[in-house]
Amino acid sequence: MQYDNNKISVRQLLIIVIVATFSSAIQTIPRLVGNEAGRAGWVSILLAFGFYLLFILMLSRMFTKSHATDLYDLFTKVIGKFLAKLITVIYGIWTFILIAFYVRAFAERFMASILPNTPLQFFLITLLALSAIFMYGKFESFARFSELSLYLFAGMFVFLLAVSLPTIEVANLFPVTTMDAVPILRGSLVVLGIWSYLTFGLFLGGGVTDMSNLKKHGIKSGILLALSALITFFITIGILGANWTERLSLPFFTAVQTIRILNVVERLEAIFLTFWVIADLVIVSLFMYVFVNILKKLLPIKEPRKLTAPIILCVYLLALVLANSFFELNRFSAGIAVPVNVILGIALPIVVFAIAHLRKKI
């Protein structure tokens, strides 16, 4: 899996996935979940959390019973080599698109917030150059960076929740009625579309030393994902309200801008953007590693390090043409990215699990 044959633990793999999802969750959960479920969106997060735990149990059973090393190996053992390769090609194409999407989102976010006059190309090149540093280094170092980042993010979320409590309007979060049942379900699919990146991360399983602990650490990861999503939702919807949130391109960023500490300290958004850059770097680097690993499964590649520069160039070109504006990028996220994530990250593994059960592979 890795360039230097170093191994990481399943705990570290899950930490990478958690930090990676922060980039999308901060942007997507308040806006899209709020759009689908309104003030009841926090119930959508709880519902998604329950399903995520069941999903973890399913993945753990498949990997434990099949003794698969990664997702490609699991597909091969359950549905055969031909179909496994075909499905993995689809994962590879979508992973490549996601890399370009998040690189472009990184650029559009800065242009829409604090640096509107800076050329788009500057941000694209900056993020890709930072990602290249990890790609040319050891995957173990990337895992350690993500682990440190998780502690920083945990502190940030707790801090933002604490200082925003005086400005959160409880009326923006209640009441929740039976009429919200269908919107809550739709909102939970949005959340699962983000958390489904765990499935993509499992293509890196061959470099993980203890996949048998997936259940234990997977449950813990679900708790962290749910808590961070709830805090993000409470701060954004609690301060701005659901109707106003769905109209904004950067709702959580806007909510953070309104926070003051003792009416003296403000401009917390600069600190927040720094953390967001870290999350963008982690998610782009994670998907770069996944994409390279998929290529290694499909093609006879002996030196994956040599693929880094061509991949980065192709990502840069796709990021340039992926959308004409931040508005189009948000439409792509809501109308295409989330549904495809749910299909590939959640629905397809469930289908494979059903096939494995019927064929008594697990």
Side-chain-side CA neighbours of residue 53 (13 Å) = 10
Strand partners, 208: 8
- Higher per-residue confidence, 249 vs 95: 95
User: What is the C-alpha separation between 165 and 161, in angstroms, rounded?
Assistant: 6
Q: Is residue 2 part of a domain?
A: no
What's the pLDDT band for 4 if we cut at 50, 70, 90?
A: very low
The pair of three-digit structure tokens given for residue 214, joined into one six-digit string: 């997936």
Residue 211: per-residue pLDDT: 85
Does the residue 75 lie in any domain?
Answer: yes
Task: Collect contacts of 268-274 with beta carbons under 8 A, ≥24 apart.
Answer: 268/160, 268/163, 269/113, 269/114, 270/114, 271/156, 272/156, 272/160, 273/110, 273/113, 273/114
In a domain, 49, yes or no: yes
The pair of three-digit structure tokens given for residue 104, joined into one six-digit string: 């472009």
For residues 234 and 339, what is the distance between their CA atoms, to the nearest angstrom? 24
pLDDT in tens, 261-299: 655 445 667 778 888 899 999 999 999 999 999 999 998
pTM to 2 decimal places: 0.93
Q: What is the mean pLDDT of residues 251-257?
A: 88
Residue with tokens 């289908």, as numbered in its chain: 351
Considering the domain boundaries, does residue 20 fall inside one?
A: yes
155-199 confidence digits (pLDDT tens): 999 999 998 998 999 999 999 999 999 999 999 999 999 999 999
Asked, for residue 148, whether it belongs to a domain, the answer is yes
* pLDDT of 6: 64
- At 207, the pLDDT band (50, 70, 90 cuts) reads confident
CA angle 108, 134, 196 (to 5 degrees): 60
Report residue 276 CA to chain centroid gap: 12
Q: What is the mean pLDDT of residues 229-252?
A: 92
pLDDT(1) > 90: no
| Angle at which helices 181-195 and 41-66 cross, to 10° | 50
Given this model, what pLDDT does residue 33 score? 95
* Count of domains forming the chain: 1
Whether residue 94 has pLDDT greater than 50: yes
Residue-wise pLDDT tens digits, 97-134: 999 999 999 999 999 888 888 999 999 999 999 999 99
User: In which domain, by residue range, is 195 found?
Assistant: 10-358
In a domain, 217, yes or no: yes
Residues 6+ apart with CB under 8 A from 347: none
Give the pLDDT of residue 266. Answer: 53
Task: Kindly state whether residue 253 falls inside one of the protein's structural domains.
Answer: yes
Whole-number pLDDT of residue 264:
46
Two tokens, residue 188: 């939970």
Q: How far apart (Å, rounded) are the C-alpha atoms in residues 232 and 129?
A: 29
Q: Within its chain, how far is the Cα of 148 from the centroid?
A: 17
Query: What confidence score (pLDDT) does residue 304 get?
Result: 76
Mean pLDDT of the chain: 91
Q: Does 25 reside within a domain?
A: yes
Encode pLDDT of 317-354 as tens digits.
999 999 999 899 999 999 999 999 999 999 999 999 99
Q: What percent of the chain is modeled with pLDDT above 90?
A: 72
Q: Name residues whose C-beta falls within 8 Å of residue 243's C-beta, 6 or more positions apart in sequence.
A: none
> Across residues 72-96, what is the average pLDDT?
96
Classify 262 in phi/psi space as left (phi over 0), alpha (psi -120 to 50) or beta.
left
Question: Across residues 142-152, what is the average pLDDT?
Answer: 95
Nearest by Cα to 202 from 89, 318, 331, 88: 88
pLDDT of residue 261: 65
Question: What is 244-310 written as a DSSP string?
Answer: HHTT-SSHHHHHHHT--BTTTB--THHHHHHHHHHHHHHHHHHHHHHHHHHHHHHS--S-GGGGHHH
**Which residue is associated with the tokens 């927040």?**
272
* CATH code at position 170: 1.20.1740.10
